[in-house]
Amino acid sequence: MTGAGNDFILFDGIKNNTPDLTPAMIQSICRRGLGIGADGVLVVLPSKNFDYKLKYFNSDGTSGMLCANGARASIIYAHAKLFPDKLRVAFECCKNKFTGKVKGENEAVFNLPDIDKGAYETVAIRENELKVYLADTGAPQAVIDFLDLNFTGKSFDDFDFVPFAKKIRYHKKFLPAGINVNVLLNEDGRFKIRSFERGVEDETLACGTGIIAAAMFLSDIKGEKTPIEIFSRSKKKFIINFRKKMTNFESVSLRGHAAIVFNGTIEI
């Protein structure tokens, strides 16, 4: 499955027997070139109180965080394969209740609970100080304005993003867990983002929770009003809505592309 280029292997534990996936299994099947290849693994399971339960694993086998694009992919899958009469679903993930709906062909809206406002802080990178917006949108996020980086002669699309992002991801301020890193550009009123995800340890074509954090930054620091549109590395458009309050953001939603790419079986 794909959520605007953020790709996943989804196991249906409602219709099928799903094995207990170990980190080694997840690493193996997510490894590009030698496995199926993916940024992460989704497992859909029965739930007593909701339509289903969702588990998410990064490609390195770690878990416990929210993946907004994975959630949107699961909403598409649930409608296509499990509950064809339902456009709206409720599911549990990370011990919280979430809702979502199918919105047109290959598009899903994911609704999140209230999110606390982020903090705009200064982080020292070697001899330089960098302004970074820090927020937890289900996974910890750092958002940086590309114009603050002063990459002389380098464009947003071409600058060496991964080495830079690793300096933030592994910065002592964020250890031991680390942080996702997002660099944002306002290109003549069109917002573009590049994202580095911990657990994948690389740039991904889209990070849903990072895009939500970027929209919070645009609202909180830059004064942008919702709905906010942001284009990911895959050039897919995301639409973010929320109500900004004094200390948090309410009624948060993320809308964008998600689709089933292919179905198959694998022996593990």
What are the residue numbers of the active site?
Answer: 67, 207
Query: Is-contact 266 28, C-beta < 8 A?
Result: no
Element (H, E) at 8: strand 6-12
What letter represents residue 122's amino acid?
T
Tell me which residue has tokens 């917006």.
133
Tell me which residue has tokens 């339902």.
86
Rounded CA separation 11/149 (Å): 40
Query: Is-contact 91 74, C-beta < 8 A?
Result: yes
| 187 beta partners | 190
**For the purposes of burial, counting CB atoms within 10 Å of the CB of 129, is it exposed (0-12), middle (13-18) or buried (19 or more)?**
exposed
**For the purposes of burial, counting CB atoms within 10 Å of the CB of 228, is it exposed (0-12), middle (13-18) or buried (19 or more)?**
buried
